[in-house]
């Protein structure tokens, strides 16, 4: 982990261009609004390498912008050699991302599905806690994941405040 004063938070999806950068942007935005931003070391990553070095998908950037949330992330691939020790919370967008991290040696007590922090989903089975990948979808897919991530972000910040 980073140091005793900061809490490492890593958001993880498959390519690190849609879900995890939007979650990162939402977390930064709302942690700043609560006056807590300096307590965290925040990043996002993908389990795959396909988009490394690229900005977030334009649709994630656009949905964030509509809500006043900046999505500044640059995609990178998850790095087990450094990420497991740097981050206290490894927040997966879906079960495949979670399983991938566990398979690659992530400490199980640090890996969570992000929506498990959504208070409206308390007690739901894991398959109901996934954030679907909107990459190939049409319509309001990015707004749908924004809403899911927003609720999880508030729940996660409330959890951290306890």
**Res. 1 pLDDT band, cuts 50 70 90:** very low
Percent of the chain having pLDDT more than 70? 98
User: Domains of the chain: which residue ranges?
Assistant: 7-161
Catalytic residue among 43, 83, 118, 133: 133
Angle value at C-alpha 16, between 89 and 148, nearest 5 degrees: 65
Residue 89's beta-bridge partner residues? 9
φ/ψ (deg, to 5) at 74? -115, 125
Concerning whether 19 is annotated as a catalytic residue, the answer is yes
Q: Which of 98, 114, 95, 116 is nearest to 106 (CA)?
A: 98
Concerning whether 115 is annotated as a catalytic residue, the answer is no
Concerning whether 109 is annotated as a catalytic residue, the answer is no
Catalytic residue among 4, 5, 13, 109: 13
- Place domain 7-161 in its CATH homologous superfamily: Response regulator (3.40.50.2300)
Which of 11-20, 72-81, 119-128, 133-142 is least confident?
Answer: 133-142
For 87-139, how does the pLDDT look when each residue is reduced to its tens digit (9 = 90+)? 999 999 999 999 999 999 999 999 999 999 999 999 999 999 999 999 987 77
Residue 91's beta-bridge partner residues? 11, 112
φ/ψ (deg, to 5) at 9? -130, 120
Catalytic residue among 19, 59, 88, 115: 19
């Amino acid at each position: 982990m980073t140091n005793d004063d900061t809490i490492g938070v890593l958001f993880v999806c498959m390519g690190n261009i849609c879900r995890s950068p939007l979650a990162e942007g939402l977390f930064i935005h709302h942690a700043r609004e609560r006056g807590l931003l300096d307590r965290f070391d925040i990043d996002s990553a993908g389990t795959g390498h396909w988009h490394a070095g690229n900005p977030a998908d334009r649709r994630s950037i656009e949905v964030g912008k509509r809500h006043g949330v900046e999505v500044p992330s640059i995609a990178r691939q998850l790095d087990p050699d450094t990420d497991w020790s740097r981050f206290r919370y490894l927040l997966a967008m879906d079960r495949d991302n979670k399983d991938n991290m566990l398979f690659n040696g992530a400490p199980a007590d640090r890996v969570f599905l992000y929506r498990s922090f959504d208070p409206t989903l308390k007690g739901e089975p894991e398959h109901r806690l996934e954030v679907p990948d909107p990459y190939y979808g049409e319509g309001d897919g990015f707004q749908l994941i924004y809403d899911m991530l927003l609720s999880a972000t508030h729940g996660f910040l409330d959890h951290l405040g306890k």
